[in-house]
Amino acid sequence: MGKENLKTMMSQSREDQTIRIGLVEDHSTLRQALAFVLEQEDGFEIVAQAGSVAEAREFSSEIDVAIIDLGLPDGDGIEVIKELREKNPQSPALVLSATHDRTQLARAVEAGAAGLLHKSAPTEEITQAVRRVLAGEALIAMDEVIELLRLASKEREKEHKEYLVVQQLTLREKEILQCLAEGQNDRQIAQQLHISVETERNHMTSIFAKLGVNSRLQAILFAIRRGIVEIH
């Protein structure tokens, strides 16, 4: 039997069955509304709903397709995509998100997302996307996939470099960054850490060199992004 005939038979078989959908969306009103609308579609059944990464981890392997938001209160929808794909590689994941952040979308594709949909997409587009991915169709053009994967790779490289930079910072330099984040000036930092202003400024010069920044604001933003400091 040829591959095309086999694919056609599998597609027809799928059409004769109920499509079991798992929804991951932290806004309960939106999730319930989407669930209601999708269940009006012939052959669709919402078998699981989650509003967080923790709840999504309870999904069984009986889901045929997952529709996942990327912004969740206890983590990232990308975590959910990875874990669901590991649990059941045959079940595609569709991203339904309001984000326009291409880096985040790139990471979702890298994690195994079969399609990217914006929350403004009409219901008909969402239902068609579900049917198409289950039929083995590609929702993302190959050139777009390649571009997104390259972007995800660059982002990983950037994160790795920043991780290495953080490892180079001394405990004293991290303390100074925390003081900076609290809005303290050179004199106040020196007093709090019981060092001279000159020593504090030498530490600051070292911090700038290690982080590759030219201002205190840039240093603070780096420290916040990498979780070096706490903002109270």
Residue 168 main-chain phi, psi, to 5 deg: -80, -20
All domains of the chain, ordered by start, with CATH? 3-151 (3.40.50.2300), 169-225 (1.10.10.10)
What is the spatial distance between Cα 44 and Cα 178, in angstroms, rounded to a whole number? 52
**Beta-strand relationship, 113-118 and 71-72:** unpaired
Q: How far apart are CA 195 and CA 189, in angstroms?
A: 8
216 near 185, Cβ under 8 Å? no
pLDDT tens by residue, the chain, 232 residues: 444 443 444 444 445 588 999 999 999 999 999 999 999 999 999 999 999 999 998 887 789 999 999 999 998 899 999 998 888 888 899 999 998 888 889 989 988 899 999 999 999 999 999 999 988 888 887 788 888 888 888 888 888 888 888 899 999 999 999 999 999 999 999 999 999 999 999 999 999 999 999 999 999 999 998 889 888 7
Q: What pTM does this model have? A: 0.65
Residue 126's nearest CA partner among 97, 90, 88, 91 is 97
Task: Give pLDDT, residue 137.
Answer: 85
Helices (H), 41-122: 53-56, 77-87, 102-111
Q: What is the reported pLDDT for 16? A: 56
Q: What is the pLDDT, as a whole number, of residue 170?
A: 95
The three-state secondary structure class of 196 is coil
DSSP three-state, residue 216: helix
On whether the CB atoms of residues 224 and 231 are closer than 8 A, the answer is yes
CA–CA dist 209, 201 (Å, integer): 12
CA distance 42 to 133: 17
Q: Cα 74–78–84 angle (5° rounding)?
A: 100
